[in-house]
Amino acid sequence: MADVVIRATRNGSYHVKGKVILQDSAGNEIPTKEEMWLCRCGQSQNKPFCDSSHSKVKFVSIVKKDEVKLDS
Ligand code: FES
């Protein structure tokens, strides 16, 4: 099993479990915890973390394994 699991939650954030290095766009390390939720809707006021704004904007995205194509 992988050391890190990232789950696209139903109509919400990415749930990250495991020890990761998270960097900003300049490559600076952002402090993290071993369990966190990253914004997937783009509306968080605390990016890259989820602040539950996805509920207010009624973000809709359900990721299903059979519909995902691996980027080449
Ligand atoms: S996914 Fe929760 S605020 Fe964007």
Ligand 1 atom, smallest distance to 14 CA? 1
* pTM score: 0.91
Phi, then psi, of 5 in degrees rounded to 5: -120, 130
Beta pairing, strands 29-30 & 22-23: antiparallel
* pLDDT for 1: 73
Ligand 1 midpoint to CA 15 (Å)? 11
* pLDDT for 2: 85
DSSP state letter for 55:
H
**What does CATH list as the number for 5-57?**
3.40.5.90
Q: Does residue 53 have its Cβ closer than 6 Å to ligand 1?
A: yes
Q: Are 61 and 11 in contact (CB under 8 A)?
A: yes
d(CA 16, CA 1): 15
* pLDDT for 71: 85
Domain boundaries defined on the chain? 5-57
Ligand 1 atom, smallest distance to 44 CA? 3
Positions in the chain whose pLDDT score sits under 50 = none
